[in-house]
Structure 1
Amino acid sequence: MEIRQLRAFVAIAETGTFTAGAARVHVTQAAISMQIKQLEVELRAQLFVRAPRRVILTEAGEKLLERAYVILREHDAAREELAALTGAELGRLRIGSASAMVSADPLPQILKELREKYPGVETSVVSGTSALLVQQVLAGEIDAAFVSLPVEARGVQTELLSEDSLVAIASPRHQLAKQKVVSAYALAGEKLILGERGGNTRRLIDQFFAQAGVKLKVAMELSRLAAIKRMVEADMGVGIVPLQSVLEEVGKGTLVRWWIEGAQINWQLGIARLVGGYESPIHQKFLMLCRKHFGQSTKNPSSRQKQKTKKK
């Protein structure tokens, strides 16, 4: 059993197809198929079942996936520790970014700066809901994730990176477009386009309107922030999003922004990682770049909020 075979196996399991898995590990489909075949022969077990549009893990495949994550994590940690001893800047960095948030906006610049300084670092990024990414951190599938706070999961520590206010947005053709402030009651009469239930942002919105005694008329529930903005631009309804996420559209005039009267809805972005997990020099440098890009002081740890969250 070779590390390259395990990486190929994990890539297929995570992407769902041999084609996408091959692209992730930068080999041909024929080559990755051969690696899996060799692995199955050695283990004397079938790892995947082919479905019409994707492959599905067998019971043996599911067991191997659990072990593969542990083996690869330990392999990478050993490699990075030894690289640190010799002064080499090598390593692997796997990052998650919540798809419904603005966390991805500064991420390209952070990764670009990291790669320019340390070209030997292998980086990968996955997206998903905050809840899913936290589970991937716990499973060792990713090293850190940008998530909305708070996080309630045993074994995960979070660090506050930034805060923002939630505002209402509408098309510039909306009849109330010239207003600067709208009430909760005015929004109750609108077709609202919000994020999916279960996320922290949606919880904050529902909580505010429940306290105001207002029942919302939700027309759409979308997983991606970009999709919410595009629907609002198309006159499909009114959205509620973090202020920083719409500064560009408001500046261009494709959206208008309203403050919500009486609302103090603060949205928090943080980075989640494993409690007590090994942090290589590359991981530490990545965290420093995150604090730098989000305006947090790297010299004064007391200015950052760190917490170990547990299930209630």
Structure 2
Amino acid sequence: MEIRQLRAFVAIAESGTFTAGALRVHVTQAAISMQIRQLENEIGARVFVRAPRHVILTEAGEHLLRRARHILREHDAALDEIAELAGAERGRLRIGSASAMVLTDQLPVILTELRKQHPAAEIAVGSGTSESLVEQILAGELDIAFVSLPVDARGIQTERLSEDQLVAIASPKHKLAKQKTISAYTLAGERLILGERGGNTRRLIDQFFAQAGVTLHVAMELSRQAAIRRMVEEDMGVGIVPLQSVRDEVEKGKLVRWWIEGAE
């Protein structure tokens, strides 16, 4: 049983498909399939059952996943300790970010300073949802990540770096454009333009409205905040987004912003 096989197995188990798993460990789908076959031959049991759009862990796979995560954490910790003996300037830092704003604005500045202080250090950066990044930390694949709180996982230390707030946005042409606040129940009657399921903002939106006992009418699900803003500007519906992402458009009068009653 090899470390690369365990990394491949964990990557597929967490991402849900062989294709996504191969992308995570930077190999071809054929190569990762071969690693899993070799792993199954060695342990004498199947670890996955293939479904139409994803894979399902077998009972043996579920047991192996817990062990594999532990083995990989210990393996990476040993490598890090040895690297420290050689000096911090030759260490490794693997960073993940669930925030496009962090990746675009803050992180380049941070990494530039790190490069100046530790020019020989190996620094890797990746992106994903908060949930997937937390799983990668637990699996020993990341050292640190910028995610949305709360994080419900043992063994993860968190520190609040900044705060944002969900707001509703609409075109200035909207009939309620002059309002300052809006209720969850009023939003439920609107054609909503939201981010895709699985994203951090969408997770918080779904949690908020589930707690309010409200069912939403989602007209569009888009992967990028810029696309949501443009659709709302054209009065195609109402959006719910982080306040920081629409400050410029609100100040320029392209969008109106409503505070959502009960949202933090």
TM-score normalised over the length of structure 1: 0.61
Shift of 1:66: 1.4
Q: Could you tell me which residue of structure 2 aligns to residue 256 of structure 1?
A: 255
Amino acid in structure 2 at the alignment position of 1:5: Q
Aligned match for 2:111, one of 93, 102, 114: 114
Amino acid in structure 1 at the alignment position of 2:218: M
Aligned match for 2:127, one of 125, 134, 139: 125
Amino acid in structure 1 at the alignment position of 2:123: V
Distance 1:206-1:12 versus aligned 2 partners, 3 A rule = closer
Amino acid in structure 2 at the alignment position of 1:124: G
Query: Which moves more between the two structures, 73-82 or 184-193?
Result: 184-193
Gaps of 5+ in 1: 98-102, 267-312
Question: Is 1:220 the equivalent of 2:218?
Answer: yes
Distance 1:141-1:62 versus aligned 2 partners, 3 A rule = farther
Shift of 1:198: 9.4
Contact 2:72–2:139 under 8 Å retained in 1: no
Q: Could you tell me which residue of structure 2 aligns to residue 191 of structure 1?
A: 190
Query: Which moves more between the two structures, 165-174 or 73-82?
Result: 165-174
SS in 2 for 1:258: strand
Counterparts of 1:46-195 in structure 2, within 5 Å, are: 46-87=46-87, 88-91=89-92, 93=94, 95=96, 97=98, 103-108=99-104, 110=107, 114=111, 117=115, 120-128=122-130, 143-151=143-151, 155-177=155-177, 179=178, 181-184=179-182, 188=186, 191=190, 193=192
Deviations 1:103-157 (A, max 9, x none): 321125516853872662344332155xx76566566665444444455665543
Contact 2:168–2:240 under 8 Å retained in 1: yes
Shift of 1:168: 3.0
Separation of aligned partners in 2, 1:21 and 1:185: 41
Deviations 1:183-218 (A, max 9, x none): 4479838616368899555666788xx7xxxx9784
Gaps of 5+ in 2: none
Distance 1:33-1:104 versus aligned 2 partners, 3 A rule = same
SS in 1 for 2:161: strand
Shift of 1:161: 1.2
Identity %: 55
Amino acid in structure 1 at the alignment position of 2:111: L
Query: Aligned residues, how many?
Result: 249
Separation of aligned partners in 1, 2:152 and 2:26: 36
Shift of 1:257: 2.5
Q: Could you tell me which residue of structure 1 aligns to residue 23 of structure 2?
A: 23
Deviations 1:206-260 (A, max 9, x none): 88xx7xxxx978422969673754553453432343221113444676x412354
Contact 1:93–1:123 under 8 Å retained in 2: yes
Contact 2:73–2:140 under 8 Å retained in 1: yes
Amino acid in structure 1 at the alignment position of 2:128: V
Counterparts of 1:38-53 in structure 2, within 5 Å, are: 38-53=38-53
Separation of aligned partners in 2, 1:151 and 1:265: 18
Query: Which moves more between the two structures, 12-21 or 194-203?
Result: 194-203
Contact 2:172–2:255 under 8 Å retained in 1: yes
Separation of aligned partners in 2, 1:246 and 1:69: 39
Distance 1:165-1:2 versus aligned 2 partners, 3 A rule = closer
Separation of aligned partners in 1, 2:71 and 2:136: 16
SS in 2 for 1:247: helix
Amino acid in structure 2 at the alignment position of 1:114: L
Contact 1:150–1:200 under 8 Å retained in 2: no
Bigger helix share: 2
Q: Could you tell me which residue of structure 2 aligns to residue 238 of structure 1?
A: 238
Shift of 1:86: 0.6
Amino acid in structure 1 at the alignment position of 2:7: R
TM-score normalised over the length of structure 2: 0.70
